[in-house]
Structure 1
Amino acid sequence: MKIISQPKTYAIFANPAHRKLVDELEKNGSKVFQFAPLKTEKIESAKNIEIIKNALTEYDWIIFPDVYAVEYFLEILEKQAIDLFELDEILVLACGEAVADRLRFVQLHADIITSSGDANVVFSTLLNYVGESEMANTSFFIPKEVEFSSGLKERLIEANAQVTEMPIYQMFINDKMENAKLKTLLKGGAIDEFIFTSPEDVIFIKNYVLPEILPEMFSETKISGTNEITIRSLNENELKAVRFYNKERG
C-alpha cells in the first residue's frame, strides 16, 4: 500500500543523478530547492610536489582532514609516478569514516580513524596513541583546503610536535546570492528536510554556512542521508541524520 505524504520543502545539492528523486518529490506537490555544489581546484605547484615527496620520508604521520584532501593528494602521487607502497612507512590518521573509506578504496590503511574532524577530538586521540612524552619527537604532515583551519596545528605545536600544513586544494562559492539564500532559508526554518547524498555534500554545507555554527543552522530542519557513509559523515559533524526514505515510491 502506498503511503501518501504531505507536501514538504526539501533541499538538496544539484546533481543530474538526482533528477528522478527530485521529480518524484515534486510530483506530490513538494518544493525542492537545488543548490549548486561547490567547485574545487587542485593546487599543484612545483613547491607542493616537492613538499609531498619529502613528506613520504620526513614525516611520521599524515593527517587527512577530508575526502578531497585524500583525492588530490593521491592524484599528485599518481601524476608523479610515486607508488602508494611508499606510504607504508608513514602512520595515517583519517578524520572520520568517509576519509578512511576513501583510503580503503585504494587499499591504504588508516592507523587511526577519529569520530570527527574536531581539533580537540583529533588531538586527544593522537595524544593517547603517541604519548605526551613522545610528541616532541613526532612530525605531522596535513594536506588541506586553502582556507581550512580547525586549530589542530596549534594544538600539536603547543605539545612541541613538528607540524607542516600544505594547501592542496581550494574550494569556491561561485554564487554569493545562492549562498545567502541557503543561509536565510535555514535560519528561517523554511526547509523541512535537507537531503544529503555523499560525504562531499557535507563538506559543501560546512563551507556554505561559514562562519555560522553548523548544528545551530539546522535546528529547524530535518537532516537525512541516502546512504550509510553519508549519514556517518553528518553525525561526525554533529548533524543528527536519519536514513532518507521517499514515501512517494510506495
Structure 2
Amino acid sequence: MAPSLHGSKILITREAKQSKEFADKVIAMGGIPLEVPLLKISCKDRKANRLMLDRLHEYTWIIFTSSNGVENFFEIIEKYHVQIADHVLFAAVGHKTESMLNKYSYRSAFIPSTYNADIMAEEFLRTPGEKGPVLLIRGNRSRDVLPARFSEQGLAFDTMEVYETSFNLEMKHQLNDVLSKQQIDFITFTSPSTVESFMVMADEIPDSNYVCIGTTTEQSAAAHGLHTLITPEEFTTDAMLLAISDYINRKD
C-alpha cells in the first residue's frame, strides 16, 4: 500500500518560497496543507562579504549547511561577477543543499552520512586530503557547531554570513486564526527557527502532533515543552511525510 496522509491537515511553518514545494508533496500524499510561513529569508550583502570575495581563490573548501546559504551566496557572487577558482571544492550538508548547488553548475565533493552539522563536522575532519583554509557559508541563526569543531582542530577557516532569518511577525494573526479554527493533525518544523517563531507567535500552544525534520529541531521543540514529537531517520521533508504516514498507520 502506498504511503498516505489520509486527509490529515498538515501545518507548514517554513519560509514562503520553500513551503509551496512542501505543500505540493502533502497534496500528492493525500493530505491537506495549511501554509503559514513563520520565517522570512533575506540576502545579507555586507561590505565584509564583498571584501571576502576578493580572497575567494585562497580557500580550499566552501562549505554550505543549507540550501538558503547556497542560493544567497551565489546571488552575491553573481551580483559582483566573481569567478570561483577551479581548485575550490564544495561540501554540502545534504542532498537538498547539493541540488541547489547543482543549479549553479557545481557539484559537492563531500556530503555527510547524516544531514546535520555535528555529523558533518566529524566526518569532514576525518576525510583524507587538504582541509583548509575553509570558507563556511552561514546565516545569522546558524549554529556554532562547525566553527567550534574547526577551532578545536586548529583548522583555518573564515565565516561568511550571506542570509538573515527573521520571524515573519505579519503571520501572527493568520497563525492564531488557523490554530483556533482548524483541527490541525500535524504541525511541522523544518528548523529550530520555525520552532522558535511558532512559540513566539502562537497565543496558545495546541495539543497536537509535532513533526521535526531532524534531531536538532526536535531538541529545540522538546526544550520548549512540546510533546508527541515525530522525527524521521532521514532529515528531509519527504521523510517527514513518510513518518507521518507511518504514525497514522500505527494509530489505526
TM-score when scaled to structure 1? 0.66
Aligned 8 A contact 1:118 1:150 in 2 = no
- Matched residue type, 1:144: R
Equivalent of 2:123 in 121, 125, 137: 125
Equivalent of 2:192 in 189, 206, 210: 206
Q: Is residue 81 of structure 2 the alignment partner of residue 95 of structure 1?
A: no
List per-residue Cα deviations over 1:162-207 (Å, max 9, x = no partner): 121121110110228849x68xx7xxxx742347xxxxx83xx431
List per-residue Cα deviations over 1:30-67 (Å, max 9, x = no partner): xx64312421111112221111231x211111110101
1:8 Cα shift? 4.0
1:96 Cα shift? 0.7
Alignment of 1:70-81 (within 5 A): 70-81=70-81
Equivalent residues, number: 206
| Distance change >3 Å, CA 115–CA 52, structure 1 → 2 | farther
| Distance change >3 Å, CA 33–CA 107, structure 1 → 2 | closer
Alignment of 1:25-104 (within 5 A): 33-54=34-55, 56-83=56-83, 86-104=84-102
1:244 Cα shift? 8.2
Query: What corresponds to 2:162 in structure 1?
Result: 168
Q: Is residue 138 of structure 2 the alignment partner of residue 144 of structure 1?
A: yes
Work out the CA distance in 2 between the residues paired with 1:158 and 1:66: 23
SS at 2:53's partner residue? helix
Work out the CA distance in 2 between the residues paired with 1:81 and 1:6: 49
Structure 1 alignment gaps of length 5 or more: 27-31, 196-200, 225-230, 246-250
1:121 Cα shift? 0.8
Query: What corresponds to 2:218 in structure 1?
Result: 215
Query: What corresponds to 1:198 in structure 2?
Result: none
| Distance change >3 Å, CA 222–CA 88, structure 1 → 2 | same
SS at 1:242's partner residue? helix
Work out the CA distance in 2 between the residues paired with 1:96 and 1:152: 15
Work out the CA distance in 2 between the residues paired with 1:128 and 1:16: 37
Percent of aligned pairs sharing the same letter: 20
| Distance change >3 Å, CA 243–CA 105, structure 1 → 2 | farther
List per-residue Cα deviations over 1:55-101 (Å, max 9, x = no partner): x2111111101011101111111111123xx2421121101110111
Structure 2 alignment gaps of length 5 or more: 200-215, 246-252
1:149 Cα shift? 1.6
Query: What corresponds to 1:29 in structure 2?
Result: none
| Distance change >3 Å, CA 53–CA 243, structure 1 → 2 | farther
Work out the CA distance in 2 between the residues paired with 1:150 and 1:139: 18
| Distance change >3 Å, CA 97–CA 150, structure 1 → 2 | farther
Aligned 8 A contact 1:141 1:165 in 2 = yes
RMSD across aligned positions (CA): 3.9
Aligned 8 A contact 1:64 1:142 in 2 = yes
List per-residue Cα deviations over 1:87-143 (Å, max 9, x = no partner): 421121101110111111222011101234433311221122146xx66xx211111
Aligned 8 A contact 1:95 1:113 in 2 = yes
1:222 Cα shift? 6.0
| Distance change >3 Å, CA 173–CA 240, structure 1 → 2 | same
Work out the CA distance in 2 between the residues paired with 1:123 and 1:150: 11
1:232 Cα shift? 5.3
Aligned 8 A contact 1:61 1:93 in 2 = yes
| Distance change >3 Å, CA 25–CA 116, structure 1 → 2 | closer
SS at 1:165's partner residue? strand
Aligned 8 A contact 1:192 1:222 in 2 = no
Query: What corresponds to 2:186 in structure 1?
Result: 193
Aligned 8 A contact 1:114 1:122 in 2 = yes
